[in-house]
Amino acid sequence: MLEQSNLGQAFFNSFMIAIPATVLPVTIGAFAAYAFAWMNFPGRNYIFLALVGLLAVPLQLTFIPVLHFYVQNLHWTTDNLEATGIPGLPWVPLWLAHAGYGLPFSIYLLANFFRALPSDLFESAEIDGAGTLTVFFRLVMPLSVPAIASLVIFQFLWVWNDLLVALIYVGSSAEVAPMTVNLANLTTSLGAGSNLLTAAAFFSMIVPLIVFLSLQRYFVRGILAGSVKG
Amino acid sequence: MDFGVLLTDLPTLVVVILGVPALIGAYIVGSEFLVRRLSDKRRPQVRPWFWVGPALFLVAAYLLLPAIGTVFQSFENNNGNFIGLGNYESQFANFPTGGAWVAIRNNVFFWLIFYTLFTLAFGLILAVLFDRVLYENIVKSLIFMPMAISSVALGVIWNFMYQYQSPGESQLGTMNALVTFVLHHDPVSWLQDQWPTPTFNILNNLALIGAATWGITGFALVILSAALKGIPADLLEAARVDGAGELTIFRRVIFPLMMPTIVVVGTTLVIFALKAFDVVYVMTAGNYGTDVLAYRMYNQLYTAGNSGGASAVAIILLIAVVPVLIFNLRQFRAVEARR
């Protein structure tokens, strides 16, 4: 029975969606947060304020134009992307969307953390002749492990548990749809198959529960960082 | 179960796990290489834009521009012709049951009030009651755990809780087992019963909100409990020495001191309430008068094929969120000013 419902494929898809959709906003967000915290450029404070405003904007507001652009202008339908045969390509629209939606929170959290690092650190590094990349990867990153860890957990769980975004962008095809879509389909299509449903629900919960139980400390810290996620 | 796919689809696995980080790394190293070739004076002017560039591009492409696009689209019909307020007229038609009214009522009234209040109340009560209890951390972990699972799984769990069998049969749902066994009342079909009246169906909406509250209480609990631990012990000590009872201390000392945190948690919950989708999608599909704005938008877009109407619903949602948005920005500015 479980084979019929494509559970293994959906489980795999969930990972293939969640991993890049976590890596992208965290790394790109870290670059941007570093610039917001320790570089000077015109309009810096206003752009940051705009990002804070975007934290509260409902994602629902963005789906229709993005979907329209994907289908009409880029021809990025799941079928087209699968036809190219390039591995991973069918998920690119979803990765980028999750990255865009996750970035305001990721920048907000990391910039606040980076800003709190002592400025002497950067001055002495500069005197020693360290380049921007060295400062970022050898100094800022190792010092920010707690903040980055909590952000990674947050984003990973958010993407793993997301139904709406996946439903909108890849909802119709079982080859790329994640666990949550699969599970939601089971609830509506198999009225009497509660044995199957519970098994599928258990599988969808097991990964986040493992992540949560093993990294609880960071998870709570991420929440306490004061957050409004769009 | 076919977990063979985890191994057979190796190229995908490699591309996804190694390719994406490699691409990002190449970008930042490459851009730094380019920046180094500039003159000393130009370097600090150009470098920040390489660092914020990808982020600003993605945020603009996926949040800012589409949001603006939706505003325009809400004034157009499906062929892209301008029709003024036509979409809004059809969404606001036939008060109180037609158009988007049911969804608006549920979101702005039931969800906003009950979801926020229940979660804050439970979070606050649990935070205060379990403070300084020996097994506090275990309790917190347990209450927090639903935060980790998806709302879809939450909906599946609560569908079983609310299951209904006809009177006389043995009840499989926990809620109905309680109702029949303890209260000797006929079983209630929690998700379908539009008690008290179909135009003001509190019961099934509260059933959905209850399920959602179960999932989010841990969030409120963790933040409120951290705020509670931040209250200086000598303040409470002083109040006790002055002979204040524990209830008075809670009302006059703890509660006012926690107010800023309660406000922050409250605004976050208001946004969650307005954006509710998954629970409704899984448990009732918006039937029986339980529609919400996010679900109605999805429905208009996919089932009715009405992108103009869907945009209008999204804008209604945005208007509901705007006060919170302004409030957040003011809070942020106030915090920045204190730095």
**Measuring CA to CA, how many Å separate A140 from each of A122, A165, B33?**
9, 32, 20
Question: Does one domain contain both B49 and B116?
Answer: no
Question: Does one domain contain both B66 and B103?
Answer: no
Please, how many CA atoms are within 13 Å of residue B51, restricted to the half-sphere of its CB? 26
ipTM at complex level: 0.90
- The residue segments making up the domain with residue B30 are 5-73
**Residue at B226: amino acid letter:** A
Q: Is A46 on the interface with B (CB under 8 A)?
A: no
Q: Is residue B81 part of a domain?
A: no
> The domain that contains A159 carries what CATH number?
1.10.3720.10
Chain A contact set for B17 (CB, 8 A): 19
Per-residue pLDDT 10s for chain A (230 aa) are 455 667 888 888 888 899 999 999 999 999 999 999 888 889 888 998 888 888 878 888 888 889 888 888 888 888 888 888 777 888 888 999 999 999 998 998 888 888 888 888 888 888 888 888 888 888 888 888 888 888 888 888 889 888 889 988 887 777 888 888 888 888 776 555 677 788 888 888 888 888 888 887 777 776 776 543 33
- Report residue B33 as tokens: 């290489």
How close B229 comes to chain A (CA, Å)? 13
Q: Is residue B56 part of a domain?
A: yes
Question: Does one domain contain both B124 and B151?
Answer: yes
> The domain that contains B297 carries what CATH number?
1.10.3720.10
Q: Is B49 on the interface with A (CB under 8 A)?
A: yes
pLDDT attached to residue A228: 38
Q: How many CB pairs under 8 A join A and B?
A: 268
Q: Are A36 and B32 in contact (CB under 8 A)?
A: no
Q: Is residue B79 part of a domain?
A: no
Question: Does one domain contain both B14 and B93?
Answer: no
**Measuring CA to CA, how many Å separate B225 from each of A172, B32, B132, B248, B258?**
42, 44, 11, 19, 10
**Residue at B136: amino acid letter:** E
Question: Does one domain contain both B103 and B66?
Answer: no
> pLDDT tens across A149-197, in order?
888 888 888 898 888 899 888 877 778 888 888 888 887 765 556 777 8
A60:B317 CB<8 A:
yes
- The residue segments making up the domain with residue A171 are 7-224
Is the bond leading into A118 cis (omega within 30 degrees of zero)? no
Q: Measure CB to CB from residue A12 to each of B6, B277, B328 and give the nearest one.
A: B6
Measured CA angle at B186 (ends B180, B192), to 5 deg: 110
Q: Is residue A230 part of a domain?
A: no
A87:B152 CB<8 A:
no
Q: Is residue B80 part of a domain?
A: no
Q: How many residues does chain B have?
A: 339
Q: How many domains does chain A have?
A: 1
pTM of structure:
0.86
Q: Is B171 on the interface with A (CB under 8 A)?
A: no
Test mutation, B62, B116, B306, chain A, max A CBs within 10 A: B62
How close A183 comes to chain B (CA, Å)? 7
A224:B2 CB<8 A:
no
Among B17, B46, B73, where does a domain finish?
B73
The phi and psi torsions of A29 (rounded to 5 degrees) equal: -65, -35
Question: Does one domain contain both B117 and B254?
Answer: yes
Taking the CB of residue A127, how many other CB atoms lie within 10 A of it? Answer: 8
Q: How many domains does chain B have?
A: 2
Q: Is the pLDDT of residue B300 over 60?
A: yes
Q: Is residue A45 part of a domain?
A: yes
Measured CA to CA, the distance from residue B100 to residue B102 in angstroms comes to: 6
Q: Is residue B327 part of a domain?
A: yes
Listed by number, the residues of chain A in 191-230 with a beta carbon closer than 8 Å to a beta carbon of chain B are: 194, 197-198, 201, 204-205, 208-209, 211-213, 216, 219-220, 223-224, 226-228, 230
